[in-house]
Amino acid sequence: MQLIDTHTHLYLPEFESDRDEMIHRATTCGVRKLLMPNINIHTVGPMISASDKYRDICYPMIGLHPTSVEEDYIRQIEELERITPDHKFIAIGEIGIDLYWNKTHIKEQKEAFRLQVRLAILSDLPVVIHSRESFRDVISVLEEFRGEKLKGVFHAFSGTMEDAMKAVEMGFMLGIGGPLTFKNSKLDEIVRETGIANIVLETDSPYLAPVPHRGKRNESSYIPLINKKLAEVLNMDEESTASITFENSSRLFNIL
């Protein structure tokens, strides 16, 4: 069985003491590729170091996370754009709008998102979208780029059924992770309705660990737990859900 973790921040300090062991655990249980979204200009270095050390396993993205958008966002984005041609980034991410933690810079977040979507189109790369409590705002920006062959994934999807269908209608995948295993999660209904052709698996490690590890540090070796739950929800076997989500991810991020 082959799987891909399409969203892991494995370069963060939370993995400093056991990064080698964590990656070994992941690959041993079939998680062949680990895709790394960036956060800001300060995380690019550690992320690139991880991708260089674990070549053909860890793949980097480039982008400015919405919670890192402050008054200097244009300077940060310009710096990220400057280094983009120097590395083989597989996506522009993690980008978007976050209205959960702080609404102070909502105007700047929207403009930063807009600038980075444009960069994705110019670079012919998919986008990895963060849309916490901001789905409508995110969609309003994406609508500006209809017809521009933009593709990507709504990471850690937590919207409504209507939101899910809107995302799929616009050609985006849904990133499904640990919350699918949570009691009273409505993701099972969304997954059944949207269908496995529109799903990729992720951890968002070190965050959002699946049951039975909920509340603890998440890691990529837990992807099989998410895949198992997905298979259960869809009444499919685990080999099939693993194979289909692996192909979905490989195709989206062009890492076939």
Residue-wise pLDDT for 11-46, tens only, equals 999 999 999 999 999 999 999 999 999 999 999 999
pLDDT tens sequence across 60-71: 999 999 999 999
pLDDT confidence bin for 145, thresholds 50/70/90: very high
- Please tell me whether residue 211 adopts helix, strand or coil conformation: coil
For residue 9, the enclosing domain spans 3-252
Gap between the Cα atoms of 30 and 33, Å rounded: 9
The neighbouring-strand residues paired with 92 are: 62, 127
Cα separations in angstroms, 162 against 97, 147, 151, 159: 19, 21, 19, 8
Beta partners for 199? 174
8 A C-beta contact, residue 203 and residue 175: no
Q: What is the percent of the chain with per-residue pLDDT over 90, rounded to a whole number?
A: 94
Over residues 151-192, the pLDDT tens digits come to: 999 999 999 999 999 999 999 999 999 999 999 888 999 999
Q: How many domains does the chain have?
A: 1
**Is 0.85 topped by the overall pTM?**
yes
pLDDT confidence tier of residue 1, bands split at 50, 70 and 90? very high
What is the identity of the amino acid at 21? E
Give dist(CA 141, CA 50) in Å, integer: 32
Both tokens of 21, joined, read: 């062991």
Task: Identify the CATH number of the domain in which residue 221 sits.
Answer: 3.20.20.140
Provide the sign of the torsion angle of the four alpha carbons 11, 16, 19, 20, taken in this order: positive
